[in-house]
Structure 1
Amino acid sequence: MLDLWDGQLRDIGYESMGENGISGRRYFQKGRDNRTYHVHVFQVGSPHIERHLAFRDYLRTHPIEAREYGDFKQKLAQEFPYDIGSYIQGKESLVKDIEQRALEWYRDNSKLRRTTQEE
């Protein structure tokens, strides 16, 4: 079912990278080596959806951490311009730290939204 996205995203310039390290995901990138854009597609109900949305939303609402994360990724990209494995490994610890805070923040905010909606 997920593979149905391949043609549609390819038509608008995205390259399919398959699961790219996460089972049950389809990963697409645009921008060649610069990877200026990327899309993650998951089957409805995937446990990875919450994790990715929490990370995204957390960084959107925490601009200082987002800037620090972006700066760190830029540093790694300069250090490993042709070694994506080292780039990914270099940011892994920071991503896990942010992800843990993001999930806690996301779940707390989800509870708050549900409570507010019930009132």
Structure 2
Amino acid sequence: MRRVEVTPYNEQWASMYAAEAEKLRRIFGRQLVAIHHIGSTSVTGLDAKPIIDIMPVVQNISLVDEYNQSMRDIGYDPRGENGIPGRRYFQKGGDNRRHHVHVFQVGSPHIERYLAFRDYLRAHRNEAREYGDLKRKLAREFLCDIDSYIQGKESLVGEIEQRALKWYRDLLN
């Protein structure tokens, strides 16, 4: 059974991302356009489930399945789109996951969504704190129920995402 664990921000998360990103750069090679640390572990000071989310951006998503064995070789379980069309998703660590990889093709709208959310929380500390508080509360309430934990965050995540996308697009214009 997977336990829901939310921990205080860990300074090592950035170096854990960097080490894993280097492995992914070697695997995806020329296919790789960019690679980003996303999710709560990418926001300094934000409490999070201690899982490093990584978003490689590739030239052609249809070629990513060719890398499944290389990903298995470094401990990842290929999960296909896993609920998000146009994504290739990999997880590492089974029930004790520590890394998730979300691969998108350059131009995917999901890239902007993830980057806007991350950058918005980095720039808006009070909202990041509110989000962290909610995650801690839900983790205590749903210690062994990841689905209810995720469902409990949906409303606030949706609100933050809307503000984040507007803020992010305003910054880019």
Give the partner amino acid of 2:129: R
Aligned counterpart for 1:73 among listed residues 135, 156, 160 = 135
Give the partner amino acid of 2:81: E
More relative contact order, 1 or 2 (CA 8 Å, 6+ apart): 2
Could you list the per-position Cα deviations for residues 19-58 of structure 1 after superposition, in whole angstroms to 9, with x for gaps in the alignment? 2221111223345445443221112221211111111111
Structure-to-structure mapping, 1:49-60, within 5 angstroms = 49-60=111-122
Deviation at 1:107, TM superposition (A): 0.2
**Matched residue, 1:40:** 102
**Matched residue, 1:25:** 87
Greater strand share, 1 or 2? 2
SS of the residue corresponding to residue 18 of structure 1 reads: coil
Separation of aligned partners in 2, 1:99 and 1:45: 19
SS of the residue corresponding to residue 99 of structure 1 reads: helix
Is 1:110 the counterpart of 2:172? The answer is yes
Greater helix share, 1 or 2? 1
Is 1:83 the counterpart of 2:159? The answer is no
Separation of aligned partners in 2, 1:26 and 1:75: 31
SS of the residue corresponding to residue 69 of structure 1 reads: helix
- Unpaired runs of at least 5, structure 1: 112-119
- Number of paired residues? 111
**Matched residue, 1:92:** 154
Distance 1:29 1:72, change over 3 A: farther
The range that moved more, 100-109 or 53-62, is 53-62
**Matched residue, 1:117:** none
**Matched residue, 2:42:** none
Deviation at 1:5, TM superposition (A): 4.3
Aligned counterpart for 1:6 among listed residues 57, 68, 77 = 68
Q: How high is the TM-score relative to the length of structure 1?
A: 0.75
Could you list the per-position Cα deviations for residues 68-119 of structure 1 after superposition, in whole angstroms to 9, with x for gaps in the alignment? 21221222223223322212211111110000010001000001xxxxxxxx
Distance 1:41 1:100, change over 3 A: same
Separation of aligned partners in 2, 1:68 and 1:8: 39
Q: How high is the TM-score relative to the length of structure 2?
A: 0.55
Q: What percent identity do the matched residue pairs reach? A: 72
